[in-house]
Chains A and B, each alone.
Chain A
Amino acid sequence: MSIFYFIAFLSILFAVLVISAKNPVHSILYLILTFFTFTIQYILLNAQFLAIVNFIVYMGAILVLFLYTLMLINLNKDAEPVKSNMLKIAGVLGGGCFLVVIIASLKALGVSQPVVLQNPGLGLVKNLGKVLFNEFLLPFEVSSLLLLSAMVGAVLLATRDKKTTV
């Protein structure tokens, strides 16, 4: 029980550090740590397939992509201009109001049941693969099309136009 609260505390701490770090590279490194704590949460829920996918896709692929982009556009020479304090306070108040509304509605719901894993094999690759390739076969194939078009789009957007640039 205490493992959950410790990991939850760590993810909140690192998430706050992500949005408050001055240097974008530090921000990305904190985001990697946040995603690592999420992976631990998936393992605690015995969702082993999602834990591995989260580890490989998010921490391995997406955040490395972020780091490479940051390296390509080299932000170090001009620091990010800070927003005025008024706007920052308004932003934090807006997020805080959202949080208060959700937590208040949860309080109105009352005490909930504990999360109990009834079927220990629920999140294993074997079980999820059966669901994925029976009920969700068409969405699975369509998502491959989505990834292909995203790849083509990314290459097309990021390629320099030869006619306009010398």
Chain B
Amino acid sequence: MNSFFDAVKTVPLNHYIILSAVIFAIGVMGVLIRRNAIIIFMSVELMLNAVNLLLTAFSVYHGDPNGQVFVFFIMALAAAEVAVGLAIIVMIYRNTNSVDINVLNRLKW
């Protein structure tokens, strides 16, 4: 078991940052290129998770448990956000019969 955790001890912090940045960038691209509201929402979840992973890596790097407590709070926040967001999407679908975000342009100036 100890050798299993020794396996990650040689990974530089920069590689964790790069991994999280790549996942975050994929989330940004997903928000920009998709039109389905649910998939945009999933891309936002992807970005949240990239940040969570980075916070955990920093927390382990500094030996400070506060970072992991923060990740716990972010997860609670994400659960609340998903519940309300999906309720809004269901509401939009009932009113417009689609989840295409280009239909929702009534607030456009």
| A and B assemble together | yes
Task: Write the residues of chain A forming the contact surface with B, with a CB cutoff of 8 angstroms.
Answer: 1-5, 8, 11-12, 15-16, 18-19, 24, 27-28, 31, 34-35, 38, 41-42, 44-47, 49-50, 53-54, 57-58, 61-62, 65-66, 69-70, 72-73, 75, 78, 80-83, 87-88, 90-92, 94-96, 98-99, 102-103, 106, 109, 111-120, 122-123, 127-128, 131-132, 135-136, 139, 143, 146-147, 149-151, 153-155, 157-158, 160
Task: Write the residues of chain B forming the contact surface with A, with a CB cutoff of 8 angstroms.
Answer: 5, 7-19, 21-30, 32-36, 38-39, 41-43, 45-46, 49, 52-53, 56-57, 59-61, 63, 65-66, 68-69, 71-73, 75-84, 86-91, 93-94, 98-100, 102
A158-B90 in contact (CB<8A): yes
- Which of B41, B56, B81, B83 is within 8 Å of A50, CB to CB? B56
Q: How far is the CB of A68 from chain B (nearest CB, A)?
A: 8
Q: List 21 A-B contacts (CB under 8 A).
A: A1-B11, A2-B7, A8-B15, A24-B36, A27-B39, A31-B42, A46-B5, A62-B78, A62-B79, A66-B86, A69-B38, A73-B89, A82-B35, A115-B60, A117-B63, A127-B65, A128-B72, A139-B73, A146-B76, A150-B83, A150-B84
Q: Which residues of B contact A24 (CB under 8 A)?
A: 36, 38-39
A95-B13 in contact (CB<8A): no
Assuming A66-B41, A98-B25, A123-B65, what are 6 further A-B pairs, CB within 8 angstroms? A3-B7, A50-B52, A92-B29, A113-B61, A114-B10, A153-B83
The distance in angstroms between the C-alpha atoms of A94 and B31, with both chains bound, is 11
A106-B29 in contact (CB<8A): no
- Which of A41, A91, A127, A146 is within 8 Å of B80, CB to CB? A146
- Which of A16, A62, A151 is within 8 Å of B26, CB to CB? A16
